[in-house]
Amino acid sequence: MPSDLHPVHPQLARLYAALGDHLAGGRPDGIFEARLGGPGSVPGLDDLGAAEWQLDLLPFPPTEAQRAALAGLGYALAAETENRLTYTLTLSDALNVTLLSHDLGASHEQKVLWEYLSQPAEEHARSAYRRAFLASGRFAADAEFVPLAQAAHVARTGVGPLDRAAALLSPLGIPWMFAAGWALDLHRHSISGLKPSQPRDEASRPHEDVDVVVGREHQLVVGKALTGAGYRVSGVREGAYVPWTEPLEPPHFQLHAHREGHEMLDLMLTDLSGDLWHYRRDPAVTLPLARARLVSTLGLPYLAPEAALLFKATGANGRVRPKDQRDFEAVLPALGAAARGWLATRLGEDHRWQAALRAVNPE
């Protein structure tokens, strides 16, 4: 929700004032996104409970200072799971507040779920959700319907986010490529022979944003093109947004581009000098650019899967995130022997993926 809408919602404005606005810049914590959610936000399900404010909060779980700020506003913790905390406002009829983990995907899951249930044509889904809710409660109903919502989201959006990004970047005449989960999806379906004339449903799961690798030396060209297209482009330093008024220098490597109604573009500035792709976390690890930058059967450039997986192999907390584990398992059958060998030699011998990389037979 854009910052200029906060004053329209007094309760939400108070939450932003207490917890901070991450997108406003200058701080690594705060609210990344806020929206109305919960059964009460869906026409036809509002009798199951009131709508709630859903906050994609950084960090998650919230810090002691953030918990104290909520307590100072009169909020009391009512329910807690690994990726969701629900607060009620005591002595008030204000909406509940649910804090959702960004890193574990809970925020995007809820967004996709309520998008699905709100579709006019999904009356049957709403009826089935109601039965599950009344029989087992909201957590169980959500767990049952999130996979259905994700599948519907993928079928509805296809690679539209990639087409929109490519329409902006391709005319610039510079090397760039999709990365992260989208890169793995493009590779998986290119190996299986998907052609441009076939249905574009090749996303294995909903993606929160669009990750793009661009050469560091071309950041001004890319940034100006995005700004001209109506995006707000911010640099990322130590986890906080900063005004992007000059090129980012190492070790800083991220630009985030936001535009209302569009997917966020996460631009990762990368050393592509010498016709090589350099692994940002260890520049000594390289791939020839001709091998690192592949082109899908849909004509979209993407980072080679072994390179994309190297980033996913270790999360910020030193563990593989659940969504990265799922991405690895989905793309593993499409990895050739050279890709599997390259990745295996760059992971620790005790990494959880080693056995799977060695067990898959060459095609």
In a domain, 236, yes or no: no
- Please measure the distance between the N-terminal and C-terminal CA atoms of the chain and give it in whole angstroms: 47
Residues 139 and 173 in one domain: no
Q: How far is CA 142 from CA 54, 133, 149, 205, 341, in A?
A: 15, 8, 10, 17, 39
pLDDT of residue 193: 54
pLDDT of residue 44: 93
Beta bridge partners of 335: none
In a domain, 342, yes or no: yes
Q: Is residue 195 predicted with pLDDT exceeding 80?
A: no
Residues 189 and 91 in one domain: no
Domain boundary among 119, 142, 157: 157
Residues 330 and 354 in one domain: yes
DSSP assigned state of 63: P
Residues 140 and 166 in one domain: no
265-319 pLDDT per residue, tens = 999 999 999 999 999 999 999 999 999 999 999 899 999 999 999 999 986 666 8
Strands, E, within the chain: which ranges? 30-37, 52-58, 75-80, 84-89, 96-100, 176-178, 209-215, 232-237, 240-243, 254-258, 264-270, 276-278, 286-288, 293-295, 301-303
In a domain, 264, yes or no: no
Hey, how many other C-beta atoms are within 10 angstroms of the C-beta on 294? 19
In a domain, 252, yes or no: no
In a domain, 256, yes or no: no
Residues 12 and 26 in one domain: yes
Residues 288 and 338 in one domain: yes
Residues 22 and 90 in one domain: yes
In a domain, 283, yes or no: yes
Q: Which residue has the higher pLDDT, 315 or 97?
A: 97
Residues 303 and 325 in one domain: yes
In a domain, 315, yes or no: yes
Instruction: Kindly report the pTM of this predicted structure.
Output: 0.90
149-187 pLDDT per residue, tens = 999 999 888 899 999 999 999 999 999 999 999 999 999
250-275 pLDDT per residue, tens = 999 999 999 988 899 999 999 999 99
User: What is the residue type of 181?
Assistant: G
Mean pLDDT of 306-335: 89
57-78 pLDDT per residue, tens = 999 999 999 999 999 999 999 9
CA dihedral for 301, 303, 306, 308, sign (positive or negative): negative
**Least confident segment among 110-119, 264-273, 319-328:** 319-328
CATH for 52: 3.30.460
Residues 107 and 169 in one domain: no
Domain boundary among 117, 141, 157: 157
Residues 78 and 188 in one domain: no
pLDDT of residue 317: 64
338-353 pLDDT per residue, tens = 999 999 999 999 999 9
Q: Is residue 241 predicted with pLDDT exceeding 50?
A: yes
Are the C-beta atoms of 212 and 176 separated by less than 8 Å? yes
Q: How far is CA 350 from CA 104, 227, 343, 345, 354, in A?
A: 24, 45, 13, 12, 7
Structural domain containing residue 86: 3-157
Q: Is residue 130 predicted with pLDDT exceeding 90?
A: yes
Is the backbone of residue 309 left (phi > 0), alpha (psi -120 to 50) or beta?
alpha
Look at the chain and report how many structural domains it folds into: 2
Residues 100 and 36 in one domain: yes
pLDDT of residue 318: 66
In a domain, 245, yes or no: no
Residues 24 and 81 in one domain: yes
pLDDT of residue 191: 72
Mean model confidence pLDDT for the chain: 91
Is the backbone of residue 94 left (phi > 0), alpha (psi -120 to 50) or beta?
beta
